[in-house]
Structure 1
Amino acid sequence: MIEPSREAWLNRIAQTGLTVSSTPAPDNVPGVQEALRSVVHWDVQPTVTIPLSHPEALKEVDRQWRAHAERTGLFGDDGSFLLGISGPGVSRFGWAVVRWSSGVELAPRLSKPEEGLDFLTMSMDGKLVCAVTEEEYAYWIVVENLP
């Protein structure tokens, strides 16, 4: 698979409806790989699951992800948060600083048949991770507080 350029990666994120900031992620937050380890390990338990067979699974993933993100304080005062997405080569880009706006469609726009759906979000202070992963029979939303 061809690895995307940073511009293509940012365009993929922007296609969700999120506002992508040119501001870099804060230096004092865990990197994408470190944050990923907090939600992808053998004893992790999902906060919520949505069956892949659900008739509107991707819309339900968005609805549940946003509800948990709001309830747990993922969004900054201006709606900002950090986003890492799956796909070939994207780990080298780290976090994108993004801002929520009305009409965002994360799961429907980020899901790709050949890659599935996996994305990782973190609060701007690096204290909260809210991840979406596609497992064998369901989408998992995992929320973890970091030390």
Structure 2
Amino acid sequence: MTGAHLLDEDGGIDWEATIRNCGLEVTGLPPISEAMDPTAALLVATSGNARPAVTVPGRGADALHVLDAHWKEQAAPLFAGGGGEFLVMLWGPGSSRVGWFRVREHTARAGLPSRVHQAVGKAEFVCLSVDGSFLCAVTDEADEYWIVTRRFE
């Protein structure tokens, strides 16, 4: 079963609570001014020029398990610096306006793609290393998941 974004008292998405529901510890709230512009990061991950580092057939029974395994491998550079912290932006209406949350893994349960899928109903999110040198995103395409990575100088 999959979830939906948690809502605040006004009926809008409670991004912080939703991120915590994904098993992440929030260590910094938006705006995180030193980070790449969130809209630019989304374009890197989703534009017509984006190419996946890994594709996972998205409808099989084991798709999320396989995606979790590839995510762990592909996302390793996110954790190389920053004391285990990284920046995250979940899929959802208005996410780029809200921007990045600084987080660290708070749980040892299933991989982040599975947890995001369980929390919001879709395994789509963008992560950026704290120093801004590495982006790793998961997108849910028509019949497969993509893991898109990009290094910046």
2:133 alignment counterpart: 127
Contact kept in structure 1, 2:86 and 2:129, CA below 8 Å: yes
Most deviating of 121-130 and 34-43: 34-43
Name the aligned partner's letter for residue 119 of structure 1: F
Matches of 1:104 and 1:45 in 2, distance apart? 26
The RMSD of aligned alpha carbons is 2.7
104, 109, 128: which one aligns with 1:99: 104
Q: Aligned-pair distance for 1:127? A: 1.2
CA pair 123-104 structure 1, distance change in 2 beyond 3 A: farther
Shift of 1:124: 0.3
Q: Number of aligned residue pairs: give it.
A: 144
Gaps of 5+ in 2: none
Match of 1:19 among 12, 22, 25: 25
CA distance in 2, matches of 1:81, 1:44: 21
Q: Once superposed, which parts of structure 1, at least 4 consecutive aligned residues long, lie more than 6 Å away?
A: none
Rounded to whole Å, the distance in 2 between the matches of 1:32 and 1:3 is 21
Counterpart code for 2:139: T
TM-score by length of 1: 0.83
The two structures have a TM-score, normalised by structure 2, of: 0.80
Alignment of 1:4-83 (within 5 A): 4-5=7-8, 8-22=14-28, 26-70=32-76, 73-75=77-79, 76-83=81-88
Gaps of 5+ in 1: none
- Whole-Å separation in 2 of the counterparts to 1:55 and 1:126: 34
How far the C-alpha of 1:77 sits from its partner, in A, is 4.6
Aligned residue type for 2:78: L
